[in-house]
Amino acid sequence: MSIPLSRTSLAGAIALAMAGQAQGNDTLSLGDTVVTAAGYEQKVTEAPASISVLTREELQEKRYSNLAEALEDVEGVDIGQSTGKTGGLNISIRGLPSDYTLVLIDGRRQNSAGNITPNGFGETSTSFMPPLSAIERIEVIRGPMSTLYGSDAMGGVVNIITRKVAREWGASLSLDHTVQEHRDYGDSSGTSLYASGPLVADRLGLNLRGSFFDRSASDLSFDDGATVSRRGASPVEGQNYNIGSRLTFTPNAEHDISLDFERGRQAYNNDDCQLGTLDGKAGGSATDGCNRDAPTRANGYKDELRFERDQFALSHTGRLGFGTLDSSLTHSTTETIGRTIPGTVGRPYSGYPSIVGGDDRTLKSTDLVLDSKLVMPLGEAHMFTLGGQYWDAKVEDGIATEEFQQSSWALFAEDEWRLRQDLALTLGGRYEDHEAFGGHFSPRAYLVWNTTDSWTLKGGVSQGYKTPTLNQLHDGINGVSGQGQILTIGSPDLDPETSTNTEFGVYYDNLADFNANLTLFHTRFKDKIDSGTPIPNCNWPDAPNQAGCIDMGSSFLQENFAQQVNIGKARTQGVELAGRWAFAPALSASLNYTYTDSEQLSGDDKGAPLTNTPRHMANLRLDWQASERLKLWLKGEYHGERARFTARYANLNATNQAIADQLGDLDAYQVFHLGGSFKATRNLTLNATLYNLFDKDFLGGDSYTAANGTTGWASHYIQGSAGTSGTLEEGRRLWLSAVMEF
């Protein structure tokens, strides 16, 4: 299996970048300032939101292959709710599903308006990210930020801030490799490059960036000898690369213009039905592979799945006499390749001559987003933000008879009002007009009080919202499930989901060797999109033409069609705690803890948890600066029990009820990691980490007996059904990396 950018091509790109190396490299140092919470620079403690920051230095010390893994240590963030079919992870904030997290790069939206990764491949979106060497920091806002950023920012926002083009040519290259102690787990390796500098001094600058990640396949078995599903838990061979470039033009001191291009490619092996049953096969499974031929049958999958994204962004910053104007125009194309139309090979769907079994299934999303924001002081006490957004989105799905296309526009305003020197009130609101369901207004209010130099109190109320995807709103066929056996349809009358978040935080910093913060949060959301009463299929052989049935053609003979409606209410609440103590000149400790409680308040699963985020999660890390060049650290993680099922017990089938009765929830666990960093020379830093230090086994489980007397076996750490709930941590492994700065 390969993807278009080979290692040779990447090496060529590295050589080209190295040709521009010089003695230094300017980097942006903002200390403890952030930009995501209000759209302009503020101290973390003064920002009107709960926010965490990961610096490039922190990221260089850890192993990660996607954005989710980079955020695993952040309080309030859970990346273990489920495992995607390619082995990737999703990002959940404050107990909400991962769909409610908005990802930005330099403030530009990355989430698509439609679903072009159906049937369990949504986690691939977290692998579209800039190379490590190109990242300045990552800002994570916990809680709704729809006032500034619109739809999807209902649970929180992750903003990847990239490095600025340097004033002198410089380059950064990182190489890493992971060696698994147990050879059933696949090794992995990665390369990351960043180079930037001037083409014309003080006028024209350029950066080049690239990364390549390669993962060998795992071949895992549970302790009872059963094969672990290769649809996520025992991941297949995969490759991922990302390349990009930014050209900047500074005509004068008041204006900056940049043109940015980024391309991401992912490829995953499916030659034995690991990710989905191949066309021309029958009986394929995630554990047994393809076991017999069926030449006329199209199941919806080719032997390799590819996920691609191309993005262009034109940006302008104007430092005007009265304020700063930031504008950007972003065009993104995201596509899934390797899916086909399920059915009989060469046979059109009844009533839909353009939908032919076995043909390539187009799955493509195109998003054009225009953003503009003006930040300006009004008198001595006000910092005012005024902005707008236009978003045109299109989704193409070969299983549907037409494109899904819609547009929206929004206006927002926010004001930070300094009531006193130590007291700031932020008031804001966003009005968005959507082509499908009209207007929606999202307000927020936030108060920050610096009671002393050491103590800060802050809290507020904000509303978030999430628009239905274009697929969900489509009036007609919008997908298939069940390995190509079940047709799904859209619901054009859906409304946006909305949430109201209340939070209160206390921050303390003794301005010497200790700081800590504690935040309480409570979120309620309504109009949750959930499954409604199924609609009968007029072509169901056992009872055709029932009252209220719909006719989608005779190619699908299922009993009914699921429909989605706005019926759900839910709440999440919890506590986030973080702190750091430098208790000796060379020793420090950092701790964070998250308590999360969630509940579905309506619908068929009323009373069940909204997600399986553990009630308790904690991270403790000890750092020792052994010398000027050597740093060592020890980290412990604790993850409490996860709900094995998020459906009400009465709604589980007999087998799952037996599993719930006899095995209970997914087990809690703790793991430890030991790592170090050594600055070998002025330009070379070496990192090494022994993950899962005590080699905790995650392949254990227990047997159960169903009501009919049959026996089975279930894992302590994951639960497989339509997807994989929970994650399987890898065994002990050694991660090595080298970071070179030129």
Q: Would you state the structure tokens that stand for residue 348, as one six-digit string?
A: 């059109």
- At residue 642, the pLDDT reads 95
Give 191's pLDDT tier (boundaries 50, 70, 90): very high
Rounded Cα–Cα distance for residues 453 and 450 (Å): 7
Rounded Cα–Cα distance for residues 179 and 571 (Å): 42
Q: Is the pLDDT of residue 721 over 70?
A: no
Q: Is the pLDDT of residue 19 over 60?
A: no
pLDDT tens-digit readout, 519-577:
999 999 898 888 777 889 898 898 899 988 988 877 777 888 877 888 789 999 999 99
Lowest-confidence segment of 172-186, 432-446, 546-560 by average pLDDT: 546-560
What does the pLDDT average to over 422-450?
94
Q: Is the pLDDT of residue 75 over 60?
A: yes
Q: Is the pLDDT of residue 311 over 60?
A: yes
Percent of the chain residues past pLDDT 70, beyond the cut: 95
Q: Name the more confident of 531 and 438.
A: 438
- At residue 36, the pLDDT reads 78
Percent of the chain residues past pLDDT 90, beyond the cut: 71
The domain segmentation of the chain, as residue ranges, is 7-741
Q: Is the pLDDT of residue 27 over 50?
A: no
What does the pLDDT average to over 708-730?
88
What does the pLDDT average to over 345-359?
90
Lowest-confidence segment of 195-199, 392-396, 403-407, 697-701 by average pLDDT: 403-407
| Fold of the domain built from segment(s) 7-741 | Maltoporin; Chain A (2.40.170)
Amino acid present at 630: L
What does the pLDDT average to over 584-597?
97
What does the pLDDT average to over 123-146?
92
Rounded Cα–Cα distance for residues 311 and 334 (Å): 9
- At residue 517, the pLDDT reads 96
Measure Cα distances from 242 to 72, 209, 482, 600, 615 in Å.
Answer: 22, 8, 32, 39, 36
Closest CA to 689 of 209, 63, 190, 130: 63
CA terminus-to-terminus distance, the chain: 34
Backbone angles phi, psi at 473, to 5 degrees: -85, -10
- At residue 178, the pLDDT reads 98
Render the burial of 184-220: b for 16+ CB within 10 Å, e for the rest: ebbebbbbbbbbbbbeeeeeebbbbbbbbbbbbbbeb
- At residue 477, the pLDDT reads 82
pLDDT tens-digit readout, 107-120:
999 998 889 999 88
- At residue 15, the pLDDT reads 36
Rounded Cα–Cα distance for residues 463 and 429 (Å): 9
Q: Is the pLDDT of residue 374 over 50?
A: yes
Give 38's pLDDT tier (boundaries 50, 70, 90): confident
Angle at 213 between CA 366 and CA 302, to 5 degrees: 60
- CB 372, CB 327: distance < 8 Å: yes
Q: Is the pLDDT of residue 421 over 60?
A: yes
Rounded Cα–Cα distance for residues 123 and 305 (Å): 14
What does the pLDDT average to over 484-494?
80
Q: Is the pLDDT of residue 243 over 90?
A: yes
- At residue 288, the pLDDT reads 81
Lowest-confidence segment of 239-253, 520-534, 688-702 by average pLDDT: 520-534
What does the pLDDT average to over 651-668?
94
Give 583's pLDDT tier (boundaries 50, 70, 90): very high
- CB 172, CB 196: distance < 8 Å: no
- At residue 180, the pLDDT reads 98
Which three-class secondary structure state does DSSP give residue 61? coil
Give 2's pLDDT tier (boundaries 50, 70, 90): low
- At residue 486, the pLDDT reads 74
Lowest-confidence segment of 270-279, 413-422, 483-492 by average pLDDT: 483-492
Q: What is the mean pLDDT of the chain?
A: 90
pLDDT tens-digit readout, 596-627:
999 999 888 899 999 999 999 999 999 999 99
- At residue 722, the pLDDT reads 61
Lowest-confidence segment of 275-284, 312-321, 333-342 by average pLDDT: 275-284
Instruction: Please name the residue that has the structure tokens 């033009």.
Output: 249
Q: Which residues contact 19 (CB under 8 A, 6 or more apart)?
A: none
Measure Cα distances from 164 to 58, 93, 237, 336, 415 in Å.
Answer: 18, 28, 34, 31, 28
For 468-483, the DSSP string reads PPHHHH-SSEEEEETT
What does the pLDDT average to over 694-723?
90
